[in-house]
């Protein structure tokens, strides 16, 4: 991809996920960063995309029910006795 | 062997197949949090997620003989977990899902995005209270997604699983997974921006000098 082929639409719709997970080839990455360097709206878009990721990472359930592992083992044993 | 999670899983699998109850306990210890979290992503209810977790391990115990040891254990087991959660979810009233196209970025003729207020939202995210409030809403936004998109964004962005592992679990190609992930992110981003624009704390912050 040449520099001229990178534009806001392609950056947003096609390349952002690869850019963010690091899988984008170096040449394309350089073209994308060159575009960002002179496109404030795309910089805002990138920041909001990252803010979405930060928000989602806050969602992971951290309150695993107490004694869940024990309850699972008890449940499986009980059910397997019912229906061997 | 401990450096290779799959080899370590397989060792437990073989012992469980031989009827080793201690190995089953170890498997429960190893995976119950992740199975619960995955189930919660589908069901969004602690009680249902707990029951789906129990169902998942019951299936593991009963069906372990059908597991092909040439495959990765976790991808087989996560599919079992997803199926258990879906099975439990189907008993409930179906929720509302949306058309992703309606929430695609609104790009102007020059290709830039014309939707306002993203900068205010991104700045607002630096505030812990606002960020926490938006995160709670994001859970609902994810639930609005069609299943195929919801599972992907939950597993990659919430559970922080590797995209390649999620693609293997869902039996889809990596490009297909990335496409779904990106569209799901764009949807949630749009919904978060809308929520942020109406959040009192953020509005106050924006109005402050």
Could you tell me if B112 and B200 lie in one domain?
A: yes
Chain A residues touching residue B155 (CB < 8 angstroms): none
Q: Which residue of B has its CA nearest to A77?
A: B58
Could you tell me if B106 and B67 lie in one domain?
A: no
Please, what's the b/e burial string for B82-102 (b: 16 or more CB within 10 A of its CB; e: otherwise)? bebbeebbeeeeeeeeeebee
The predicted structure's pLDDT at residue B111:
64
Could you tell me if B31 and B104 lie in one domain?
A: no
Could you tell me if B146 and B73 lie in one domain?
A: no
Our count of domains for chain B comes to 2
Interchain contact B135–A (C-beta under 8 A) = yes
Q: Is B113 helix (H, G, I), strand (E, B) or coil?
A: strand
The predicted structure's pLDDT at residue B188:
92
Output the six-digit token pair for B81.
């977990």
Could you tell me if B84 and B107 lie in one domain?
A: no
Largest Cα–Cα distance of chain A, in whole Å?
A: 68
Could you tell me if B79 and B160 lie in one domain?
A: no
Residue pLDDT, tens place only, A14-60: 889 999 999 999 999 999 999 999 998 888 889 889 989 989 998 87
The predicted structure's pLDDT at residue A12:
83
Q: Which helix (H) or strand (E) holds B63?
A: helix B46-63
Chain A residues touching residue B138 (CB < 8 angstroms): 55-56, 58-59
Could you tell me if B182 and B116 lie in one domain?
A: yes
Whether this model's pTM surpasses 0.90: no
Distance from CA of B7 to the nearest CA of A (A): 22
Q: How many of the other CB atoms lie within 10 Å of CB of A71?
A: 16
Chain A residues touching residue B122 (CB < 8 angstroms): 44, 47-48, 51
Chain A 16-45, residues with CB within 8 Å of chain B CB atoms = 16-18, 21, 39, 41-42, 44-45
Q: A59, B110: Cβ pair inside 8 Å?
A: no
**Rounded CA gap, B123 and B134, in Å?**
13
The reply to whether B43 falls in a domain is: yes
| Among candidate residues B33, B54, B89, the one where a domain is terminated | B89
The reply to whether B95 falls in a domain is: no
Q: B131, A18: Cβ pair inside 8 Å?
A: no
The predicted structure's pLDDT at residue B156:
95
- Name the region of B165 (left: φ>0; alpha: ψ -120 to 50; beta: rest): alpha
The predicted structure's pLDDT at residue B96:
62
Could you tell me if B115 and B200 lie in one domain?
A: yes
The reply to whether B94 falls in a domain is: no
- The angle at the Cα of B109, spanning B104 to B114, to the nearest 5 degrees, equals 50
Q: Which helix (H) or strand (E) holds B43?
A: helix B21-43
**The total number of residues written for chain A in this structure:** 84
**Rounded CA gap, B124 and B140, in Å?**
20
Residue pLDDT, tens place only, B75-123: 999 999 999 999 988 766 556 666 777 767 766 666 666 555 677 777 7
Q: B54, A51: Cβ pair inside 8 Å?
A: no
The predicted structure's pLDDT at residue A75:
95
What's the CATH code of the domain at B121?
Answer: 1.10.10.10
The predicted structure's pLDDT at residue B127:
78
What's the CATH code of the domain at B71?
Answer: 1.10.1740.10
Q: Is B108 in contact with B120 (CB distance < 8 Å)?
A: no
Largest Cα–Cα distance of chain B, in whole Å?
A: 70
Task: For residue B36, give the nearest of A53, A54, A68 by CB distance.
Answer: A68
| Host domain of residue B58 | 5-89
Distance from CA of B71 to the nearest CA of A (A): 25
The reply to whether B188 falls in a domain is: yes
The reply to whether B195 falls in a domain is: yes
Output the six-digit token pair for A36.
């960002």
Could you tell me if B72 and B104 lie in one domain?
A: no
Burial bucket for residue B171 (CB in 10 Å: 0-12, 13-18, 19+)? exposed
Q: A55, B134: Cβ pair inside 8 Å?
A: yes
Distance from CA of B148 to the nearest CA of A (A): 17
Could you tell me if B170 and B108 lie in one domain?
A: yes
Interchain contact B36–A (C-beta under 8 A) = yes
Task: Tell me which residues of chain B have a pLDDT lower than 50.
Answer: 1-2, 209
The reply to whether B111 falls in a domain is: yes
Q: Is B151 in contact with B205 (CB distance < 8 Å)?
A: no
Residue B1 per-residue DSSP state: -
Q: Where do the domains of chain A lie?
A: 3-82
């Amino acid at each position: 991809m040449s520099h001229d082929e990178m534009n806001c639409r392609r950056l947003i719709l096609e390349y952002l996920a690869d850019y963010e997970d690091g899988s984008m080839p170096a040449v394309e990455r350089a073209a994308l960063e060159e575009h960002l360097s002179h496109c404030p709206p795309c910089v805002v878009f990138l920041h909001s995309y990252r803010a979405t990721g930060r928000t989602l990472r806050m969602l992971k359930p951290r309150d695993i029910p107490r004694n869940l592992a024990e309850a699972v083992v008890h449940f499986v044993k009980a059910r397997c006795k019912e229906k061997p | 062997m401990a450096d290779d999670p799959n080899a370590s899983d397989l060792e437990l699998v073989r012992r469980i197949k031989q009827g080793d109850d201690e190995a089953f306990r170890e498997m429960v210890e190893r995976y119950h949090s992740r199975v619960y979290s995955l189930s919660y992503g589908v069901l969004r209810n602690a009680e249902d997620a707990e029951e789906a977790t129990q169902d998942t391990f019951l299936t593991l115990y009963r069906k372990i003989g059908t597991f092909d040891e040439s495959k990765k254990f976790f991808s087989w087991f996560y599919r079992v977990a997803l199926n258990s959660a879906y099975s439990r979810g189907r008993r409930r009233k179906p929720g509302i899902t949306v058309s992703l196209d309606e929430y695609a970025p609104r790009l102007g003729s020059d290709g830039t995005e014309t939707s306002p207020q993203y900068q205010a939202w991104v700045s607002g995210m630096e505030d812990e209270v606002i960020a926490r409030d938006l995160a709670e809403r994001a859970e609902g936004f994810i639930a609005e997604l069609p299943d195929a998109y919801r599972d992907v964004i939950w597993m990659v962005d919430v559970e922080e699983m590797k995209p390649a592992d999620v693609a293997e679990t869902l039996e889809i190609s990596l490009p297909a997974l990335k496409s779904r992930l990106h569209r799901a992110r764009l949807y949630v981003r749009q919904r978060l921006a809308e929520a942020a624009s109406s959040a009192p704390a953020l509005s106050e912050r924006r109005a402050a000098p």
